[in-house]
Amino acid sequence: MSDDRDLETVPAGATRCGIVALVGRPNVGKSTLLNALLGRKVSIVTPRPQTTRTRIHGVLTRPDLQIVFADLPGIHARQPRAINRYMNRTALASLADADLNLFIIEALRWTDEDERALEELRRAGRPVLLVINKSDRARPRDRLLPFIAEVSRKAEFVDVVPLSALKRSNLECLPGLIARHLPESPLLYPPDQVTDASDRFMAAEIIREKLTMRLQEEVPYGLMVEIEGIGQAEDEPGKLVVQAVIWVERTGQKAIVIGKGGELLKEVGRAARLDLKRHFGRPVHLELWVKVREGWSDDDSALRKFGFET
């Protein structure tokens, strides 16, 4: 579903390299798609909308090709707090910088937030490839092709790809289609680098993922994880020590995160420690504390402290 006449001509054997932004409303599967394409986890995934809070780069390198994916916060209409406004600014600022934008929607579903995301993509003026995720869940199946045709008419997409990121169905064609719309360029990252996220960032995100999966509906949005220390254990060679503070917005949330007799925090710690061990490839000793900072998600100074560029 592309027009070869619109593609930049790149000599045979030349290296194509560029930035590809993953764009869409919250909870359409952007992070799941990134992890599936890379074959490893670089972006946390939960059923909660707005899990991704900042831009994360994942790097896919193949012979004569490097795709730098930018996993962005979901573009959403409601911006009740400073952190929501930050997430929207982060997502929108990345659209004009990308060589190609992947617009990700959910099969058989079109919402006002999808429409808003598409309008921002039009405004950015960059090529857009439409990805229709969760196509395996489309019921009844005979509605899928008319839906694809209807959405395809909403903009001049360079390609349209139905797939399932979770099932990894029809993924194999996507890097090749993306490559056709990238310029000839030297590699932006070393061939063996998969992400530009720091160890501290990844550790914090892994802990936040486990908290989000375990906690009640309203609590995850008031959570922030800050890594206070990460380094070699003095008494056990090869073991990594990670010290983290879980920040919440209200005293009542602190009690929920800790749980009765500390059981919930212990459970989260066990799950996070296993994931940290897999990520770092060595044993991890994890120390967790829970502290309160009232209204941090609507406080620009607190957001700057936590690394958000407000």
Quick one: DSSP state of residue 74? P
Alpha helical stretches, state H, 66-126: 82-95, 112-124
Task: Tell me the per-residue pLDDT of 193-231, one tens digit each, with 9 for 90 and over.
Answer: 999 999 999 999 999 999 999 997 778 889 999 999 999
Task: Tell me the per-residue pLDDT of 262-286, one tens digit each, with 9 for 90 and over.
Answer: 999 999 999 999 999 999 999 999 9
CA 188 to each of CA 18, 27, 152: distance values in angstroms, whole numbers, following the listed order: 8, 29, 32
Amino acid at 44: I
Instruction: Please determine, for residue 156, whether its predicted confidence score (pLDDT) is greater than 70.
Output: yes
Catalogue all structural domains in the chain, each as residue range(s) with its CATH number. 4-179 (3.40.50.300), 199-305 (3.30.300.20)
What are residue 287's phi and psi, to 5 degrees? -115, 125
* Secondary structure element (H or E) that encloses residue 265, with its range: helix 263-280
Once rounded to an integer, what is the mean pLDDT over residues 188-193? 96
Quote the pLDDT of residue 235: 87
Instruction: Please determine, for residue 7, whether its predicted confidence score (pLDDT) is greater than 70.
Output: no
Is the dihedral angle over the CA atoms 288, 290, 291, 296 positive or is it negative? positive
Task: Tell me the per-residue pLDDT of 44-74, one tens digit each, with 9 for 90 and over.
Answer: 999 888 899 999 999 999 999 999 999 999 9
Task: List, in order, residues 6 or more apart from 257 with CB less than 8 Å away.
Answer: 211, 215, 219, 223, 246, 248, 264, 265, 268, 290
- Residue 143 to residue 246: CA distance in whole angstroms: 45
Once rounded to an integer, what is the mean pLDDT over residues 108-135? 96
CA 193 to each of CA 120, 145, 262: distance values in angstroms, whole numbers, following the listed order: 31, 38, 38
Quote the pLDDT of residue 310: 58
Instruction: Please determine, for residue 135, whether its predicted confidence score (pLDDT) is greater than 80.
Output: yes
Quote the pLDDT of residue 48: 87
- Residue 66 to residue 45: CA distance in whole angstroms: 24
- Residue 280 to residue 23: CA distance in whole angstroms: 29
Q: pTM of the full predicted structure?
A: 0.90
DSSP 198-255: -HHHHHHHHHHHHHHHHS-SSSGGG-EEEEEEEEE-SSSTT-EEEEEEEEESSHHHHH
Cβ–Cβ under 8 Å, residues 191 and 264: no
Quote the pLDDT of residue 13: 59
Quick one: DSSP state of residue 60? E
What whole-number percentage of the chain has pLDDT above 90?
84
Tokens 């995100």 sit on residue = 205
Q: Is there a cis peptide before residue 140, judged by omega within 30 degrees of 0?
A: yes
